[in-house]
Structure 1
Amino acid sequence: MTQEFGMTALDDLDQALVHALQIAPRAGWARIGAAVGADPVTVARRWQRLARSGSAWIGCHPGPAAAESGQGCLAFVEVDCANGRLTEVARALVAEAHVITVEHVSGGRDLLLTVLAPRLSALTRWVTHRLGALDGIVGTRTHLASTVYTEGSRWRLRALSSEQIARLSEDAAPRGDTSAFELTDLDHALFAELSVDGRASHTVLAERCGTSPDTVRRRVNRLLSSGMAQFRCEVARPLSEWPVSLILWGRAAPAELRTVAEQVTGAREVRLCAGVIGRHNLKLVAWVRSLDDAQRFEVRLAERVPALTVVDRAVALWPMKLNGNLLDERGYRTGAVPIDVRAVGG
């Protein structure tokens, strides 16, 4: 590791640690240490330094199962800003608890937002009355997500061997063995706390949410096993070897959309693949090594998925907010805004 803030490289142990936490983000340090070949004190100290420097972090956000159960909707909103007003508009939007991602992007829009809402009517009201009235905005376009085929919590740094991955995975909490359920105020409070610190202990969460550690343990386990919550260990993009975030919008025949999406998600670079309802029907985000590699990735994608037609593309110039986490212009974490789907109102 090279420096306390704004680290410029991850050594082998750092990379192994991040990969381990991507697989088991809330596992104890003894289990993480055993997987990466280091003692618990060392890996805990390493993680503290990574987190303190903004080089890596763990958060939590509502999973696709929440929307599938009728308790939320996901939208991607393009925003056009008046000349000279982009920073002002972005500053207002990153402060909103339900606008979980804000990116300054190239191409035919200035900002690209990822927005969560408890229901379609709430989203509509926010777009119409809040976003539409915000000074400095001259136009917006809203694309509703239908199915999320893959998202960033499944993306891996790939620093561990297959044996190390198996060791971590065999003790991991089971996913998808609990059916969706009605989210409570406590669940939403836990989302808010865990979105800022995904490794917060049950004791700390209990103190902040006004309940007992045993209750927190049960609720967190249920959120995870049902797929209602997704934990995610992120690394600052300059440290990932894939520093360029490429956004593609595509079109496939409706009858082939699921097959196309499954083929897309098989590409290592892909961090998000979602069906959308709009002028295009598929959106994907990929991390690539360079701008040249962005073009090469599109060529590889066309060869891999000939049934997909890419119709628009952009590069994230500055991901200002990523799943509630605030990032500087280099991509390092500087803080967080707790995620609260209900903050949209309506």
Structure 2
Amino acid sequence: MLENRMDDIDQALVHALQIAPRARWSRIASVLGVDAATVARRWERLEEAGAAWVTCYPGTGLAGAARGCLALVEVDCASGELLNVARAFTRLPHVSAVEHVTGDRDLLLTVMAEDVAAVSRWVVGGLDAMPGVRASRTHLAGTVFTEGGRWRFRALSPRQVDRLSEHAPAPRAPREPDGLDRRLLLALSENGRAAYTELAELCDSTPDTVRRRVRHLFAARMMQARCEVARPLSEWPVAVTVWARVPPDQIPEAAQRITGMREVRLCAGVTGRHNLMVIAWSRSVEDAQRFEADLVRVAPDIVIGDRAVALWTMKLSGQLLDQGGYRTGAVPIDPWAVPGGPV
């Protein structure tokens, strides 16, 4: 494990992969001004230490194809059962994130399912019947104004950022995902930089077909890639979730202002007594309190109703994390694996 620090080259490499997660090493190296072998070796060291990783997850384009529902679920656990319950949730492929948090809930889950009906089937027939679960509350996410894949390390110059952004694919229209699309999502969820030849073998296809499919999935935002870093290495080790209310007609304007704040990892409209949810990274618990004040300054009409600080993010975008925030394994994300739903 790294000693809670990355040097300038490591930070630049992570920033480069946040912009172009599947770029060839030769392209990354040319932008960073080092040779490709050095870049590959550096990444291997970071990945093996669980300090950084690239994953993929269902994108907003699935909603455009009438497929995909994002839910945030608060869970209260029976006394002494929290760890067992949390570990059970981490094993579920449709639960993409599990956090032990402060406040009026024990766990906060992010659930990805095919549709609202699938979420309902799981909550009623699975979650509420789990041993150790005392109560739960489900909130559906509507518009996702920004998400964690847009968070950047900011170690590169504007010119370097422009060079890495030059070859972004032209937007494509989403379509109904088929079996191969789903298999590709599972494979890339575990290793977002898997080669096309490796994906072809895993998904029973050909490299050319896989290349075309993957490019379409990204261009249509049916799948999104993200380079993550262990939180202690980011200098932003504290994750805070804020629930708030904004006048309904002012949500888009408030969200636009909020998404411009560097700390913000996710901003989404949600159902329930709060209509906006914001997740941010902070430098400390004290800084998290300062973030709330900044939030009110940026969006003066916002009324903060609740907040929670993550004590342990056990799973993030399908990746299993230890208490230090380092990756220890993965459970590939599968929105179609909700019990009782389509296989």
TM-score normalized with structure 1 length: 0.97
- Corresponding position: 1:194 with 2:200: no
Within 5 Å, which residues of 2 pair with 1:84-99? 84-99=80-95
2:117 to 113, 116, 121: 121
Total equivalences in the alignment: 340
User: Which runs of no fewer than 5 residues in structure 2 stay unpaired?
Assistant: none
Instruction: Please name the residue that 2:197 is paired with.
Output: 203
2:100 to 95, 101, 104: 104
- Corresponding position: 1:11 with 2:7: yes
Within 5 Å, which residues of 2 pair with 1:74-223? 74-174=70-170, 177-223=171-217
Within 5 Å, which residues of 2 pair with 1:300-311? 300-311=294-305
AA of the residue aligned to 1:157? F
Rounded to whole Å, the distance in 1 between the matches of 2:8 and 2:100 is 32
Instruction: Please name the residue that 2:46 is paired with.
Output: 50
Within 5 Å, which residues of 2 pair with 1:54-69? 54-69=50-65
Instruction: Please name the residue that 2:272 is paired with.
Output: 278
Write the deviation string for residues 157-206 of structure 1: whole angstroms up to 9, x where unpaired. 000000110111112333xx200101011111111110110000000000
SS in structure 1 opposite 2:137?
strand
Rounded to whole Å, the distance in 2 between the matches of 1:219 and 1:157 is 29
| Structure 1 residues 6 and 80: alpha-carbon distance in aligned structure 2, compared to 1, 3 A threshold | farther
AA of the residue aligned to 1:79? V
Instruction: Please name the residue that 1:333 is paired with.
Output: 327
Rounded to whole Å, the distance in 2 between the matches of 1:147 and 1:281 is 10
Within 5 Å, which residues of 2 pair with 1:277-296? 277-296=271-290
Rounded to whole Å, the distance in 2 between the matches of 1:75 and 1:278 is 12
SS in structure 2 opposite 1:108?
coil
Rounded to whole Å, the distance in 2 between the matches of 1:232 and 1:24 is 9
Rounded to whole Å, the distance in 1 between the matches of 2:64 and 2:271 is 15
Rounded to whole Å, the distance in 1 between the matches of 2:65 and 2:181 is 15
2:312 to 311, 318, 322: 318
Q: How far 1:304 sits from its partner (Å)?
A: 1.0
1:243 to 233, 237, 240: 237
User: Which runs of no fewer than 5 residues in structure 1 stay unpaired?
Assistant: none
Rounded to whole Å, the distance in 2 between the matches of 1:69 and 1:105 is 33
Rounded to whole Å, the distance in 1 between the matches of 2:194 and 2:169 is 17
AA of the residue aligned to 1:340? D
Write the deviation string for residues 248-295 of structure 1: whole angstroms up to 9, x where unpaired. 001001111111111110101000001001111000100011111111
Q: How far 1:6 sits from its partner (Å)?
A: 4.1
AA of the residue aligned to 2:199? L
Q: Is the 8 A contact 1:7 1:55 kept in 2?
A: no
% same residue: 57
SS in structure 1 opposite 2:126?
helix
SS in structure 2 opposite 1:216?
helix
Write the deviation string for residues 309-339 of structure 1: whole angstroms up to 9, x where unpaired. 1110000100000000000001000000011
Q: Is the 8 A contact 1:67 1:74 kept in 2?
A: no
Rounded to whole Å, the distance in 1 between the matches of 2:63 and 2:98 is 20
Instruction: Please name the residue that 2:219 is paired with.
Output: 225
TM-score normalized with structure 2 length: 0.98
Q: How far 1:64 sits from its partner (Å)?
A: 1.2
Rounded to whole Å, the distance in 1 between the matches of 2:123 and 2:320 is 22
Alignment RMSD (CA, Å): 0.8
Q: Is the 8 A contact 1:320 1:326 kept in 2?
A: yes
Q: Is the 8 A contact 1:81 1:110 kept in 2?
A: yes
